[in-house]
């Protein structure tokens, strides 16, 4: 499910508006507004300004939790307390998946976050515009999931094909390397990351192919004689590919050696292509 349930949405806004009302009573960002109900009736621009004031004064969240003037149950108070671990900044919205929408940091070290919508799926909130898009957002823990605070501020930027391809590659790289972050805090309310990779069943380690590949390399090295130029070029490509496979199995400098071998593969492929073209 890409959204919170109806009960969870009601709880979120109850807590969020109570906190923002507390902030407004101390900072008077929106004059004459003192209750959570009044906050809920304000234009989104006003609420965004109040949210920004809270971000500038994080001590007010701590005071809200410590004083607990709303007499919130411990479990609900823990949700508000966890918002100290919010993430605010610019993000690329890069994928709509079945379980959540994927956000990626637009600045600094890249990570992927699986973010649930509130009342409407984020695709609906954003008007169905093609991805990727860039937004300013605040991501919040909500139990063992991640949501946003109800306010998204999209940039009016159109991305060219090369940038879209680069972002897609970065998404694939991060998803494979560290997974999509699906949780920011643990049961104790302290930071605890869980990613999509944690859901995978442990994979069986691959066999040690070094002796097998070494044997193939040795055999291809003997394939120096051929009846035709075309055979010779194909055998050359086979030798280069075998050496590339062997390079990836090195314990040190595998990427450097693989890059060198790949250049040999490309040279061998070019030679073979030219011969095939000449044959035609």
Amino acid 7: pLDDT: 96
Say if residue 106's pLDDT is above 70: yes
Identify whether 129 is part of a domain. Answer: yes
Q: Which of 187, 203, 219 is at the close of a domain? A: 203
Identify whether 96 is part of a domain. Answer: yes
Residue 46 sits in the same domain as residue 95: no
**Phi, psi of 145, rounded to the nearest 5 degrees:** -130, 180
Residue 136 sits in the same domain as residue 65: no
Residues 6+ apart with CB under 8 A from 82: 140, 141, 142, 184, 185, 189
Residue 161 sits in the same domain as residue 111: yes
At residue 200 the predicted structure's pLDDT band, cuts being 50, 70 and 90, is low
Q: Which of 54, 74, 94 is at the close of a domain? A: 74
Identify whether 198 is part of a domain. Answer: yes
**Segment 230-259 mean pLDDT:** 90
Say if residue 1's pLDDT is above 70: no
CA distance 2 to 114: 9
CA distance 231 to 226: 6
Amino acid 205: pLDDT: 74
Identify whether 175 is part of a domain. Answer: yes
**Whole-Å CA distances, 71 to 64, 75, 77, 81, 185:** 10, 11, 9, 14, 23
Amino acid 40: pLDDT: 93
Per-residue pLDDT reduced to its tens digit, 159-196 = 999 999 999 999 999 999 999 999 999 988 899 999 99
Identify whether 118 is part of a domain. Answer: yes
CA distance 205 to 225: 38
Identify whether 79 is part of a domain. Answer: no
Residues 6+ apart with CB under 8 A from 26: 57, 60
At residue 16 the predicted structure's pLDDT band, cuts being 50, 70 and 90, is very high
What is the pLDDT of the chain when averaged over all its residues?
92
- β-partners of residue 48 are none
**Segment 77-106 mean pLDDT:** 96
CA distance 78 to 115: 20
Amino acid 253: pLDDT: 84
Preceding peptide of 132 cis, ω within 30°: yes
Identify whether 80 is part of a domain. Answer: no
Amino acid 108: pLDDT: 79
* CB atoms near residue 94 (< 10 Å): 21
**Whole-Å CA distances, 20 to 10, 48, 90, 137, 153:** 15, 10, 22, 17, 19
CB 196 within 8 A of CB 176: no
Say if residue 255's pLDDT is above 90: no
Preceding peptide of 183 cis, ω within 30°: no
Q: Which domain, by its residues, includes 175?
A: 86-203
**Segment 189-210 mean pLDDT:** 81
Residue 101 sits in the same domain as residue 55: no
Identify whether 47 is part of a domain. Answer: yes
CA distance 249 to 155: 45
Residue 110 sits in the same domain as residue 190: yes
Residue 187 sits in the same domain as residue 227: no
Structure tokens at 33: 């507004």
* CB atoms near residue 80 (< 10 Å): 20
DSSP state of 207: P
Residue 124 sits in the same domain as residue 192: yes
CB 260 within 8 A of CB 270: no
**Segment 152-161 mean pLDDT:** 91
Say if residue 202's pLDDT is above 70: no
Q: What is the pTM of this model?
A: 0.71
Number of domains in the chain: 3
């Amino acid at each position: 499910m890409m959204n919170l349930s109806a009960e969870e949405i009601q709880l979120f806004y109850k807590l969020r508006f109570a906190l923002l009302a507390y902030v407004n009573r101390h900072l008077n960002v929106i004059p004459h507004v003192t209750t959570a109900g009044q906050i809920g009736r304000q234009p989104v621009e006003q609420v965004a300004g109040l949210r920004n004031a809270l971000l500038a004064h994080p001590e007010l969240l701590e005071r809200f939790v410590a004083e607990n003037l709303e007499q919130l149950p411990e479990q609900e108070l823990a949700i508000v307390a966890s918002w100290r671990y919010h993430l605010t900044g610019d993000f690329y919205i890069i994928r709509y998946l079945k379980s959540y929408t994927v956000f990626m940091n637009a600045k600094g070290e890249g990570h992927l976050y699986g973010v649930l919508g509130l009342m409407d799926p984020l695709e609906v909130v954003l008007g169905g515009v093609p991805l990727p898009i860039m937004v300013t957002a605040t991501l919040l823990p909500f139990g063992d999931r991640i949501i946003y605070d109800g306010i998204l501020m999209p940039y009016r930027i159109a991305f060219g094909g090369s940038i879209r391809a680069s972002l897609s590659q970065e998404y694939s790289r991060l998803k494979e390397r560290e997974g999509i972050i699906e949780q920011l805090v643990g049961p104790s309310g302290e930071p605890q990351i869980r990613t999509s990779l944690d859901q995978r069943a442990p994979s069986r380690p691959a066999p040690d192919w070094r002796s097998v590949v070494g044997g193939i390399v040795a055999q291809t090295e003997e394939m120096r004689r051929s009846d035709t130029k075309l055979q010779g070029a194909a055998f050359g490509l086979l030798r280069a590919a075998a050496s590339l496979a062997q390079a990836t199995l090195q314990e040190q400098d595998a990427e450097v050696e693989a890059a060198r071998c790949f250049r040999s593969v490309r040279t061998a492929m070019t030679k073979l292509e030219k011969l095939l073209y000449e044959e035609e």
